[in-house]
């Protein structure tokens, strides 16, 4: 029988559940504090709850939605967590120390159905959506990491899967993550990345204030159609219209992620095309040199091409940052989360 994961519940839902057990509603607030502010690892740590209630929790509710299978660490300090799900599937999260930021990259699906050609995760296929508890528990586990957990100050939904294809569970997780009584992350410190599922983007802008990032990776439909099948459903004109209409808060911008592929999308002419594409959007661009992986047909551009691409964007008064590759030797870099570690655990 499938476990009942208590972290699937928002505070309001937890109050209803606790009341149905015959407990008073304030017990839910106590329990919520233990789950997130205290981040307990066992019910025995909830010492202000009655023994009978703790016994009920022990028998009826699962505190942990994930089992930590392995932690790998790269030379640059990047740490990758491999988690086993209750049904035997695996997911990965990555912790990236880059002072003053320490960022946890969170997964929202086991595998991915979108099939972006440069992404190793897409090659493993789609297993299933993650539940709210399985998303939130990645953060709870990482926060308990004695090495870097206390340093975590930002979250990015850029791990395995497309967050907006698992909209309801991700939104519920965001509610818990940004709740001042929950995991207490400011919306300014949480970023959700999407390939551009336009209908869900329009909902997202009205239902949460977290940062938005778009995995764009091409300056025109011809190239993006080849790299990202989703572009045939939501082509760039439709995607950019949604970006221009997105309800950004003051001082916020949409981040555009652009993986540079040698000879595919890295020329100065394509950089100028990207400038025109982003016209009218409050934007910043993260340029990411492709991280090679076995079986890929793509290559990393030489440094002079990367710098030249950035220079075109900067001369157009766009903020363009070259993101350093982190954790590539443990397959933790951008686009590398996939079944390699999973298969070794089966």
Which residue has better confidence, 327 or 271? Answer: 271
Q: pLDDT (tens digit, 9 = 90+) per residue, 111-130?
A: 999 999 998 887 778 999 99
d(CA 264, CA 227): 10
**Known catalytic membership, residue 304:** no
Catalytic residue, from 112, 140, 243, 334: name it.
Answer: 334
Q: pLDDT (tens digit, 9 = 90+) per residue, 259-272?
A: 999 999 999 999 99
Percent of the chain with pLDDT over 70: 94
Concatenate the DSSP letters of all residues of 199-244 into one string. Answer: HHHHHHHHH---EEEEE---SSHHHHHHH-GGGGTS-HHHHHHHHH
Domain that holds residue 22: 6-60
H helix intervals, the chain: 11-20, 26-32, 51-60, 120-123, 132-143, 167-178, 198-207, 221-227, 236-244, 268-277, 303-315, 339-345
Does residue 139 lie within any of the structural domains?
Answer: yes
Residues 48 and 178 in one domain: no
Residues 31 and 109 in one domain: no
Return mean pLDDT, the chain. 93
The interaxial angle of helices 167-178 and 132-143, nearest 10 deg, is 40
Work out how many domains the chain is built from and give that number. Answer: 2
Residues 49 and 71 in one domain: no
Q: What is the mean pLDDT of residues 288-293?
A: 89
Does residue 1 lie within any of the structural domains?
Answer: no
CATH number for 228: 3.20.20.70
User: Residues, the chain, total?
Assistant: 346
Residues 174 and 192 in one domain: yes
**Known catalytic membership, residue 105:** no
Buried residues in 271-296 as b, exposed as e (16+ CB within 10 A): bbbbbebbeebebbbbbbbbbebeeb
- 148, 102 contact by CB (below 8 A): yes
The dihedral built from the CA positions of residue 225, 228, 233 and 237, taken in this order, carries a sign that is negative
User: Which of 15, 40, 60 is the last residue in one of the domains?
Assistant: 60
Q: Is the peptide bond prior to 100 cis by the omega test (within 30 degrees of 0)?
A: yes
Residues 15 and 144 in one domain: no
Q: pLDDT (tens digit, 9 = 90+) per residue, 65-86?
A: 999 999 999 998 999 999 999 9
Percent of the chain with pLDDT over 90: 86
CATH number for 49: 1.10.150.530
User: Which of 44, 60, 76 is the last residue in one of the domains?
Assistant: 60
Catalytic residue, from 15, 23, 92, 257: name it.
Answer: 92
Beta bridge partners of 285: 256, 320
Residues 177 and 257 in one domain: yes
Residues 37 and 79 in one domain: no
- The set of residues, in sequence order, having a beta carbon less than 8 Å from that of 109 and lying 6+ positions away, is 126, 127, 128, 129, 130, 160, 161, 162, 165, 166
pLDDT at 167: 98
Residues 55 and 93 in one domain: no
Nearest to 165 by CA among 114, 237, 221, 89: 114
Residues 80 and 47 in one domain: no
Rounded (10°) CA dihedral 14, 20, 24, 27? -30
Residues 29 and 144 in one domain: no
Q: What pLDDT band is residue 346 in, cutting at 50, 70 and 90? A: very low
Residues 43 and 180 in one domain: no
Residues 249 and 117 in one domain: yes
Q: pLDDT (tens digit, 9 = 90+) per residue, 24-66?
A: 999 999 999 999 999 999 999 999 998 899 999 999 999 999 9
Residue 334 pLDDT greater than 70, yes or no: no
């Amino acid at each position: 029988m499938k476990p009942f994961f208590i972290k699937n519940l928002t505070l309001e839902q937890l109050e209803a559940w606790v009341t149905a057990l015959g407990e008073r509603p304030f017990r839910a607030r106590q329990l919520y504090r233990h789950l997130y502010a205290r981040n307990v690892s066992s019910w025995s740590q909830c010492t202000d709850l009655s023994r009978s209630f703790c016994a009920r929790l022990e028998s009826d509710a699962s505190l942990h939605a994930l089992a930590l299978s392995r932690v790998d660490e790269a030379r640059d300090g990047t740490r990758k967590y491999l988690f086993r799900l209750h049904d035997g599937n695996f997911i990965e999260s990555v912790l990236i120390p880059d002072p003053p930021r320490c960022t946890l990259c969170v997964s929202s699906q086991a595998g991915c159905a979108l099939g972006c050609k440069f992404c190793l995760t897409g090659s493993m296929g789609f297993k299933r959506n993650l539940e709210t508890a399985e998303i939130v528990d990645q953060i709870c586990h990482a926060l308990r990491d004695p090495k870097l957990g206390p340093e975590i100050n930002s979250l990015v939904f850029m791990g395995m899967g497309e967050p907006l294809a698992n909209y309801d569970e991700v939104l519920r997780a965001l509610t818990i993550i940004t709740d001042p009584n929950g995991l207490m992350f400011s919306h300014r410190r949480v970023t959700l990345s999407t390939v551009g599922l336009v209908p869900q983007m329009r909902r997202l802008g009205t239902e949460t204030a977290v940062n938005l990032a778009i995995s764009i990776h091409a300056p025109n439909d011809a190239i993006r159609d080849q790299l990202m099948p989703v572009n045939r459903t939501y082509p760039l004109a439709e995607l950019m219209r949604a970006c221009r209409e997105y309800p950004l808060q003051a001082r916020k911008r949409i981040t555009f992620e652009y993986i540079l592929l040698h000879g595919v999308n890295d020329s100065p002419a394509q950089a100028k095309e990207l400038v025109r594409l982003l016209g009218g959007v409050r934007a910043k661009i993260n340029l990411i040199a492709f991280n090679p992986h076995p079986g890929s047909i793509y290559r990393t551009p030489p440094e002079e091409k990367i710098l030249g691409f950035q220079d075109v964007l900067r001369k157009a008064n766009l903020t363009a940052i070259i993101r350093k590759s982190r954790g590539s030797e443990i397959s933790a870099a951008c686009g590398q989360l996939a079944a390699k570690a999973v298969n070794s655990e089966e």
